Structure 1
């Protein structure tokens, strides 16, 4: 296997196809992980590598030529799009393992992820605005927002949807009778989340605004030209309506509110997390608040 990789590496240096080389590298890396990782983890690594390669802006330089600055720029852009810290860490872990493998094969001189502090890229959860503060800001700013913009913003803070889940949401997933919404994750998981009355009212207004009743397969967030909204549209809209918060900030505030109500297992299910460990991270803000109160009185 190593001789094959080296042969393809020199083929790329002499003008070969970057994409062919990259796909072979990814396949060899995933094959190597079969001895130590679960099949679901390997599948997740494969999706992460494919996503990073496909979503790269500009001409793709190839894995062996990707620099630290380019990787840092990618993760900063992802954070600005409203991607959660957990997702950023997961993708970073995948890339670290992948480049460690490339180092072992002698295909790169160093791991380009060395020196990138993902806590700084993603931001600290303890400093994020709380649910009540964000809701007050949204209620104030939503007076100047369109109906579509209000629906998008409230869907995030009232259900904890991720940006990708929000964009893909169809009318068939909204159950007005049961006051529930079926959220379909990018990893094919599904979860039901309750819809408060105020959000149901906004969704009803949006549905009535259609010239013809929307079908179950039509996207909820659709522009006037009939196209679904983009990630950049969601990012700009949420920032403006919320007074500067990102979609990830709103999702965090929603989940943190549920955790504060001593419903960690509910928060885990509503968040779509696979483990309670991921959800427990939302308790960090509570610990910081307790420390401040302790220092104040003692």
Structure 2
């Protein structure tokens, strides 16, 4: 036990990464366990020096957001528009609103008619931590919402009433919306196993930045309702093509 030193631990970490391809998160857990063990051994006088002193865990491997490509989103929307299911209008309004606002699942489930202004064409979203954000409605969503509202029973159109209802005339729940999304993806000919409902939020953010070079991260932060810009910065990966074009343009000018 006394022969174990910080150098031994560093060689162990190096072996795990290079020879066994262990991921950073797994290394973090193993280092945490070793630190607890080393502290215990010092406390119980099994060893005199903490062999984990100075050992710093590697940073975690941040996964990039998974999202639908523009063509896949368009394919999904085309299916919603041509579907003739009895609840097709509700589904079209629900998922078009999600896809064009980046709303969270909980935010759209809790959405009431008083939050939607079909005169000013805005939606007031109650986000996390009781934070509110006012977003413009996409032109594609406005006529669908109006038609959907007209077709609802009168008692379901009151300002305090939820916008979206289940088949049993009850409020939607997160699980049912998730399964509905998967079902509609399959019917649209898309691989449902690749996407979760939250991926619509990632898709909104990604495509918005890809298609509009005037949208910066600060604007996207406000649209998504992130409390920290660091959270929004995960979407900077999608600027790769734009960065590539900028670099190529720079090199061309440099040669002139």
TM-score normalised to the size of structure 2?
Answer: 0.61
Q: How many residues align?
A: 186
Q: Is residue 2:91 matched to residue 1:149?
A: yes
SS of the residue 1:222 aligns to? coil
Per the alignment, residue 204 of structure 2 pairs with 254
SS of the residue 1:197 aligns to? coil
More moved, 213-222 vs 241-250: 241-250
Q: Check conservation: 2:126, 2:132, Cα contact below 8 A.
A: yes
Gaps of 5+ in 1: 1-95, 107-116
Q: Check conservation: 1:153, 1:241, Cα contact below 8 A.
A: no
CA distance in 2, matches of 1:216, 1:280: 36
Please tell me whether Structure 1 or Structure 2 has the larger radius of gyration of its CA atoms: 2
SS of the residue 1:138 aligns to? helix
Report the alpha carbon displacement of residue 290 of structure 1 after superposing the two structures with TM. Answer: 5.3
Report the alpha carbon displacement of residue 196 of structure 1 after superposing the two structures with TM. Answer: 1.6
SS of the residue 1:273 aligns to? coil
More moved, 242-251 vs 207-216: 242-251
Per the alignment, residue 215 of structure 2 pairs with 263
Q: Check conservation: 1:134, 1:250, Cα contact below 8 A.
A: no
Per the alignment, residue 72 of structure 1 pairs with none
Q: Check conservation: 2:166, 2:172, Cα contact below 8 A.
A: yes
Report the alpha carbon displacement of residue 173 of structure 1 after superposing the two structures with TM. Answer: 0.2
Report the alpha carbon displacement of residue 148 of structure 1 after superposing the two structures with TM. Answer: 1.4
Q: CA RMSD in A?
A: 3.5
Give deviations 1:152-192, integer Å, cap 9, x for gaps. 21111111000000100000000011110000013200001
Per the alignment, residue 225 of structure 2 pairs with 272
Per the alignment, residue 164 of structure 2 pairs with 221
**In the superposition, relative to structure 1, how do residues 287 and 220 fare at CA in structure 2: closer, same or farther (>3 Å)?**
same
Q: Is residue 2:133 matched to residue 1:133?
A: no
Q: Is residue 2:122 matched to residue 1:180?
A: yes
Alignment of 1:1-298 (within 5 A): 124-125=64-65, 128-130=67-69, 132-142=70-80, 143-144=82-83, 146-212=88-154, 214-242=157-185, 243=190, 244=192, 245-260=195-210, 261=212, 262-264=214-216, 265-287=218-240
SS of the residue 1:192 aligns to? strand
SS of the residue 1:198 aligns to? coil
CA distance in 2, matches of 1:197, 1:276: 28
SS of the residue 1:151 aligns to? helix
SS of the residue 1:181 aligns to? strand
CA distance in 2, matches of 1:292, 1:198: 31
Report the alpha carbon displacement of residue 197 of structure 1 after superposing the two structures with TM. Answer: 2.1
CA distance in 2, matches of 1:218, 1:254: 27
CA distance in 1, matches of 2:205, 2:243: 19
Report the alpha carbon displacement of residue 248 of structure 1 after superposing the two structures with TM. Answer: 1.6
Q: Check conservation: 2:164, 2:171, Cα contact below 8 A.
A: yes
